[in-house]
């Protein structure tokens, strides 16, 4: 690759080295896009109607999205100050990390996990410390506790873990949570919570009920609620911690449209959760069928599956791309494939069956 032409503007050296967020390949008209864990269903008419009635775009939105905060506060049985809305949960991650960690501080998380974590930590000026996943692609919680130092300011726990789909169990979480120092912020990133069917999985709402001031739970309307394009997520936690996040937020970044669509989605929750149950069932069928073909697939609790294709990852991704399935390759590690339309699942299984025979 050729070096970019130098410019006189000084950029922080760690930022100059940072690659911008990569979305993966975009799908052509007749390809299935299974690369971003989006919801394959069209928005509900009630949500589209609410959007059409959203306030005029010449006005700024309500800075704190208070109607949505109030609604979520009553849903979760917390006070409005214990809810904070962001332009996607990735914005909330950024705010919380920036609020708690800066130069000289460490942010601890399992790896491999959500690709945005290292970028957000570097952007905050802090240092990432990672602990490998176990052989079955799960968080190693005792090892995470052991990796805490006096510089650790934030611990990121992702359940279900993107991209491997595995969950932290409630028992594993309960066994370690009090071993993290009380002044370290623990963020439980539950972007895929609604897809979880494992009754033993950690549940942010149960965690919240214990009211630990250092634990924040993150959720989003992007996945189960199908509003990825509108950018809206929420944090639940101690009011003072969320105040710190509010202080670091880019002002007015949650649009009125995002707020109104989120409210309409909560109203339509029953119907949306039926779709979620459909996807979870499709996911379980897909995992069973892939395992029957001989693939090693870890437990999948999000709306995606992980194929540990190792050195063959890019070749398998190419075979799938050629067949019109756009998936997310992580070179040298594996493929993350979203559970999409029925037809895409059938096609995936057909291609996967022919590819698995060629693997060493």
| Min CB(332)–ligand PMP separation in Å | 20
**In this structure, are residues 263 and 61 in contact, taking their beta carbons and an 8 Å threshold?**
no
**In this structure, are residues 252 and 231 in contact, taking their beta carbons and an 8 Å threshold?**
no
| Min CB(360)–ligand PMP separation in Å | 30
User: How many helices (DSSP H) and strands (DSSP E) are in the chain?
Assistant: 13, 12
| Min CB(311)–ligand PMP separation in Å | 25
Question: Is 191 one of the binding residues for ligand PMP (CB under 6 A)?
Answer: yes
Question: Is 168 one of the binding residues for ligand PMP (CB under 6 A)?
Answer: no
Q: Where are the alpha helices (DSSP H) in the chain?
A: 13-16, 45-52, 66-76, 89-100, 116-124, 141-146, 170-176, 204-209, 239-248, 256-267, 269-293, 313-322, 342-358
Question: Is 306 one of the binding residues for ligand PMP (CB under 6 A)?
Answer: no
Identity of the residue, 35 or 309, whose beta carbon is nearer to ligand PMP in the bound complex: 35
Q: Which one among 189, 203, 259, 312 touches ligand PMP, defined by CB under 6 A?
A: 189
Question: Is 89 one of the binding residues for ligand PMP (CB under 6 A)?
Answer: yes
Q: Which one among 39, 162, 164, 301 touches ligand PMP, defined by CB under 6 A?
A: 162
Q: Which residues pair with 12 in a beta bridge?
A: none
Distance CA 216, CA 207 (A): 9
| Min CB(84)–ligand PMP separation in Å | 13
Q: Which residue is nearest to ligand PMP (CB)?
A: 88
Q: Which one among 184, 228, 244, 351 touches ligand PMP, defined by CB under 6 A?
A: 228
Pairing of strands 185-189, 233-236: unpaired
| Min CB(49)–ligand PMP separation in Å | 23
- 267, 271, 274, 280: CA torsion to nearest 10: -60
Number of residues that bind ligand PMP (CB under 6 A): 13
CB atoms within 10 A of CB 229: 11
Identity of the residue, 88 or 204, whose beta carbon is nearer to ligand PMP in the bound complex: 88
Question: Is 301 one of the binding residues for ligand PMP (CB under 6 A)?
Answer: no
Q: Which one among 90, 154, 300, 335 touches ligand PMP, defined by CB under 6 A?
A: 90
In sequence order, the 6+-apart residues with CB closer than 8 A to the CB of 190 are: 159, 204, 217, 218, 219
Question: Is 158 one of the binding residues for ligand PMP (CB under 6 A)?
Answer: yes
Taking residues 59 to 88 in sequence order and writing x for each that binds ligand PMP by CB under 6 A, - otherwise, the string is -----------------------------x
| Min CB(322)–ligand PMP separation in Å | 25
| Min CB(220)–ligand PMP separation in Å | 3
Distances (CA, A) of 160 to 138, 144, 203, 255: 9, 17, 10, 27
Identity of the residue, 218 or 355, whose beta carbon is nearer to ligand PMP in the bound complex: 218
**In this structure, are residues 329 and 317 in contact, taking their beta carbons and an 8 Å threshold?**
yes
Question: Is 226 one of the binding residues for ligand PMP (CB under 6 A)?
Answer: no
The crossing angle, in degrees rounded to 10, of helices 256-267 and 269-293 is: 80
Greatest distance between any 2 Cα atoms in the chain? 59
Q: Which one among 35, 94, 220, 344 touches ligand PMP, defined by CB under 6 A?
A: 220
Identity of the residue, 226 or 233, whose beta carbon is nearer to ligand PMP in the bound complex: 233
- 55, 58, 59, 60: CA torsion to nearest 10: 110
Distances (CA, A) of 225 to 20, 33, 175, 191: 27, 18, 31, 11
What count of Cα atoms within 13 Å lies in the side-chain half-sphere of residue 22? 8
Identity of the residue, 264 or 355, whose beta carbon is nearer to ligand PMP in the bound complex: 264
Q: Summarize as ranges the residues that interact with ligand PMP (CB under 6 A).
A: 37, 88-90, 114, 158, 162, 189, 191, 220, 222, 228, 233
């Amino acid at each position: 690759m050729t070096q970019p032409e130098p410019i006189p503007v000084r950029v922080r050296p760690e930022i100059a080295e940072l690659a911008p967020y990569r979305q993966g390949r975009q799908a052509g008209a007749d390809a299935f896009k299974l690369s971003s864990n989006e919801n394959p269903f069209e928005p509900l008419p009630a949500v589209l109607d609410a959007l059409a009635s959203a306030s005029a775009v010449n006005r700024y939105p309500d800075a704190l999205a208070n109607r949505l905060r109030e609604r979520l506060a009553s849903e979760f049985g917390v006070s409005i100050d214990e809810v904070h809305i962001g332009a996607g949960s990735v914005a909330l991650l950024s705010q919380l990390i920036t609020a708690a960690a800066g130069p000289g501080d460490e942010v601890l998380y399992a790896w491999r996990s959500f690709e945005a974590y290292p970028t957000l930590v570097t952007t905050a000026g802090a240092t990432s410390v990672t602990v490998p996943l176990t052989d079955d692609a799960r968080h190693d919680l005792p090892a995470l506790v052991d990796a805490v130092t006096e510089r650790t300011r934030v611990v990121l726990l992702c359940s279900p873990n993107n991209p491997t789909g595995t969950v932290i169990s409630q028992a594993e979480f309960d066994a370690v949570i009090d071993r993290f120092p009380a002044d370290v912020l623990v963020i439980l990133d539950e972007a895929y919570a609604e897809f979880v069917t494992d009754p033993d999985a950690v549940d942010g709402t149960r965690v919240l009920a214990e009211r630990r001031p250092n634990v924040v739970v993150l959720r989003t309307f992007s996945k189960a609620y199908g509003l990825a394009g509108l950018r809206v997520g929420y944090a639940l936690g101690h009011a003072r911690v969320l105040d710190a996040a509010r202080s670091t937020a880019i002002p007015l970044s949650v649009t009125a449209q995002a707020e109104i669509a989120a409210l309409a989605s909560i109203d339509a929750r029953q119907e949306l959760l039926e779709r979620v149950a459909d996807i979870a069932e499709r996911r379980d069928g897909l995992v069973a069928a892939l395992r029957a073909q001989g693939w090693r697939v870890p437990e999948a609790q999000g709306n995606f599956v992980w194929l540990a294709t190792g050195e063959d990852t890019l070749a398998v991704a190419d075979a799938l791309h050629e067949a019109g399935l756009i998936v997310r390759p992580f070179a040298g590690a594996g493929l993350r494939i979203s559970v999409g339309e029925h037809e895409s699942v059938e096609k995936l299984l057909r291609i996967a069956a022919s590819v698995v025979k060629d693997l060493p």
